[in-house]
Structure 1
Amino acid sequence: MPRALVTGATAGIGHCFVTELAARGHDLVIVARDTSRLESVAAELRERHGVDVDVLTADLTTADGLAAAAGALTSTSRPVDLLVNNAGSSFPGWFGTTDVADEDDQLDLLVRAPMHLMDAALKAMSGRHGGAVINVASVAAFTPRGTYSAHKAWLVNLSQWAHLQYADVGITVQALCPGFVRTEFHQRMGADISGIPRWMWLKAPKVVKASLKDLERGRAISIPSVRYKILATLSRLAPAGFVARVAKRGR
């Protein structure tokens, strides 16, 4: 059976990924910091879908956490066919007003962690001549909007390059770029989302299904929903100052 490793697997988009993949028959390695939530998710997936689920408690901002997740990706006895780099967080405030230690933590989680896990996955998958990586980015990557959007732009750029670079060994790499999604993300960061129009919100299960559909089609960038495809295109064409003013309304 195919096997997937998903980070940030206990909530939001990550939880929807493991639920959808289990329903499709994937065995799983689920990664997060909260062991009790991981065990609860694993038990539900095993009972409902009859798949094998390994639980890996790891803080990906630490060397030990990264090493543990990378070790699961390079296992030869239980190889991983799909890596979903989903773990992420943010905090309110704009660079230059925030605590730089918080910025360091966000950089580690949104850039350093997926880089290390991609490295492990690509090396392992290249030897087997096949596999896939989904990096959960954001449409924020296409806008000038502080460090969060900069981190996501970095991830999109690396994903596009890796998709081309490793195509000859059968590896597909995708940057998933959703807009606002109904998850715990904004609540956890303490952001005020009252000004975000209802039409801008997406449902996490639909985001995941769109991503997997685009992965099957071999698309390097997946932007779920027509409205966000249009907005992403406009953000590349409109003046940067205008895009920045509009983008500043959300996070």
Structure 2
Amino acid sequence: MEPKLQSFIPVIQSSNLAKPLKKQDLLTTSFLIDHDRDNELTMYYSPHNEYINHHAKIVIIGITPGWTQMKAAFEQVIDCLPISESSTIEQTLKKAKIAASFSGAMRKNLIDMLDHCGIQNVFHIKSSSYLFSENRDFLHTTSIIKYPVFYQGRNYTGHRPKINHSSLLTSYAYEMFPKELSQIKAPALVIPLGKMVEEVLKNLIKNNKLNDHIYLFNFPHPSGANGHRIKQFTENKQSFISTVLEWAALFSYNT
């Protein structure tokens, strides 16, 4: 299927976007994909989640891209202009994915937890931080709701409204997302970030809509705003290590 970026390139070029991008540059009708007026939700295009690393061994899943990720992805696309050939579009989508992945304190928190689970030992690397740089081919980051969603103009967090209270959110989480995950060869280690993401995954597993991946449930969201992050991780650390070792045995067998 042709990436949506193909159709948005003329819009991006004609909009004369300049860095640093602001919300008024991107949260416009030009990039609006869909909306749910009853729940005050708007969904906008962002290029980074169009790239799928089919050979990933680890999949980290958030609920939906936020403004920061959207901004980083578009700024990367601007740096790649002009874009014409399909191969260049694929390369641009990959660069946008890398640029928009977890950054700042959230990435540091995530790497710390991955290292304490022993992820780096599986790949024989010094730190899980390398998964975000030279060992990026092992990693796929994504969201259960593919494109950025905003509630009353603010990042959607999964709480208001609940996913199953919106047909827009439900269609992406329960129809589009499992199709994406099915494109990644099992067994990958799948890490859902946050209770809302975990709830969706468990429902999909219950209904036999996901491949036989290994799931690291109860993993804390790495956001600094998650005050229970350290306690939750500590309480589940031994379970995480056991799950990683279980996955590692399968990973080694299949490589």
Q: Into which bin does the TM-score normalised by the smaller protein fall?
A: under 0.3
Which gives a bigger RCO, structure 1 or 2 (Cα 8 Å, sep 6+)? 2
With normalisation by structure 1, the TM-score equals 0.28
